[in-house]
């Protein structure tokens, strides 16, 4: 069975500082990996995804993530935080082929300090 662990349920960074949100996955084979963002009272919006190929993935709003098989990690980063980045972020994993089920981490709430 696949699972995702997000370290840190709450992360606070100053505006302009580096954002680092951690995600580790457990899977017998490299899976598909996703980062979604959720703003208050809204659904989930895809930030970026890793399927195959290049391990450094660039997404929307200046976010990127690097797939590291040796560390089973898929951490999300952004060089300079903006106030509009305040939201909850979810890492998710999905098996190659087969069904469409996503398994989500518990989420990380990002707060930006002015």
Partner 1 sequence: KAGVTQTPRYLIKTRGQQVTLSCSPISGHRSVSWYQQTPGQGLQFLFEYFSETQRNKGNFPGRFSGRQFSNSRSEMNVSTLELGDSALYLCASSLGPSQGSETQYFGPGTRLLVL
Point out which residues bind partner 1 (CB under 8 A).
32, 34, 36, 41-46, 49, 51, 90, 92, 94, 97-107
Measured CA to CA, the distance from residue 70 to residue 72 in angstroms comes to 6
The DSSP-derived string for 39-106 is: -TT--EEEEEEE-SS-SEEE-GGG-EEEEETTTTEEEEEESS--GGG-EEEEEEEE-SSS----EE--
Q: How far is the CB of 72 from partner 1 (least distance, A)?
A: 19
Q: Which residue, 34 or 81, is less far from partner 1 as judged by CB? A: 34
Nearer CB in complex with partner 1: 15/101: 101
**Between 53 and 114, CB nearer to partner 1:** 53
> What is the Cα–Cα distance from 32 to 56, expressed in whole angstroms?
14
Find the shortest distance in angstroms from Cβ 114 to partner 1: 27
Compute the least distance from the CB of residue 88 to partner 1, in Å: 10
């Amino acid at each position: 069975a696949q699972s995702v662990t997000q370290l840190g349920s709450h992360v606070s960074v100053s505006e302009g500082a580096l954002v680092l949100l951690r995600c580790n996955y457990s899977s017998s084979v490299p899976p598909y990996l996703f980062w979604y963002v959720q703003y208050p009272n809204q659904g989930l919006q895809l930030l970026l995804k890793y399927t195959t190929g290049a391990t450094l993935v660039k997404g929307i709003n200046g976010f990127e993530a690097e797939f590291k098989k040796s560390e089973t990690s898929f951490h999300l980063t952004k060089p300079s935080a903006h106030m509009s980045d305040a939201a909850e972020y979810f890492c998710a994993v999905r098996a190659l082929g087969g069904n469409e089920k996503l398994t989500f981490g518990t989420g990380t709430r990002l707060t930006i300090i002015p």
